[in-house]
Amino acid sequence: MFTGIVQGIGEIITKSLVNTVTSVEIKLPDVENLAIGASVSINGVCLTVVAINDDVIQFDIIDETINRTNLSEASVGDYVNIERSLKFGDEVGGHILSGHIFATGIIKSKTKSGDQMKINILAPPSIHKYLTEKGYIAIDGISLTVGKVVNGSFDLHIIPETMRLTTLESKEVGDAVNIEIDSNTQLIVETIERLLKDRGVTE
């Protein structure tokens, strides 16, 4: 599990296809006590450490993950958000995340005002029902609060510290971002849908 509080930025050192698996090596900002088999969030995607060479860590990515996330577009030299997995006793500063991406969204616009930044993201129809103003959402592994929601797009209001610690400021209009819906929101929405369906209520 993760919390959406990004701990730093990593750089992709190598990316190659080995048989049917995409292998990536990423230089991490913190490798203390990191072991093979550990889980690390890379742009919000839960990946497993398969090799360690000093601060360069290897991960293997299967097709399902590549096809569902923006890691398909990641190239050598690109930077990604990093979070180590939650340990017992750690503070949950954001909200609980699984590292399982629901969909990707597209950045429609970015506006900076002083030290703040507003980003508008176009979400695919499959997740529109989960978008609620002031609800939680994770974008590229970052725990954020949903702003105004209009016609399938939503605003995010980014504070200076988040810009400093993550890749959001370097993202450009048209870039894809990974989206993980808050699990509590998902549970509520899908439970209500199931109850209405059981009672014969349709849209």
CATH number at residue 145: 2.40.30.20
Same domain, 124 and 170: yes
pLDDT tens profile 1-27: 898 899 999 999 999 998 889 999 999
**Residues 133 and 174 both lie in one domain:** yes
Q: Are residues 121 and 185 in the same domain?
A: yes
CA distance 164 to 149: 25
- Shared domain for 108 and 189, answered yes or no, is yes
Judgement on whether residues 70 and 118 belong to the same structural domain of the protein = no
Tell me, yes or no, whether 45 lies in a domain: yes
Is 203 within the bounds of a domain?
no
Give the pLDDT of residue 88. 61
Residue 73 domain flag: yes
With respect to residue 91, please indicate whether it lies within any of the assigned structural domains.
Answer: no
Last residue of a domain, one of 51, 84, 117: 84
Number of structural domains (the chain) is: 2
Q: Is 200 within the bounds of a domain? A: no
Q: Which domain holds residue 190?
A: 103-195
- Please choose, from the candidates 171, 138, 184, 160, the residue with its C-alpha nearest in 3D space to the C-alpha of residue 2: 138
Q: Do residues 74 and 111 share a domain?
A: no
pLDDT at 116: 92
The three-class DSSP label of residue 88 is: coil
Q: Is 85 helix (H, G, I), strand (E, B) or coil?
A: coil
pLDDT of residue 187: 85
One domain for residues 159 and 186: yes
Tell me how far apart the alpha carbons of residues 77 and 48 are, in angstroms, rounded to a whole number: 21
3-class DSSP state of 130:
helix
pLDDT digits (tens, 9 = 90+) for 139-148: 999 999 999 9
The answer on 167 and 116 residing in a single domain is yes
Q: pLDDT for 30-86, tens place per residue?
A: 898 999 999 999 999 999 999 999 999 999 999 999 999 999 999 999 999 999 987
The pLDDT score that the predictor gives to residue 30 is 87
Residue 57 lies in a domain: yes
Based on the fold, state whether residues 110 and 187 are members of the same structural domain.
Answer: yes
Classify residue 144: in a domain, yes or no.
yes
Question: What span, in angstroms and rounded, lies between the C-alpha atoms of 179 and 140?
Answer: 7
**pLDDT attached to residue 71:** 96
In angstroms, the Cα distances linking 28 to 6, 39, 57, 192 are 12, 13, 7, 41
Taking the complete model, does pTM exceed 0.75, yes or no? yes
Q: Is residue 21 part of a domain?
A: yes
Q: Are residues 178 and 115 in the same domain?
A: yes
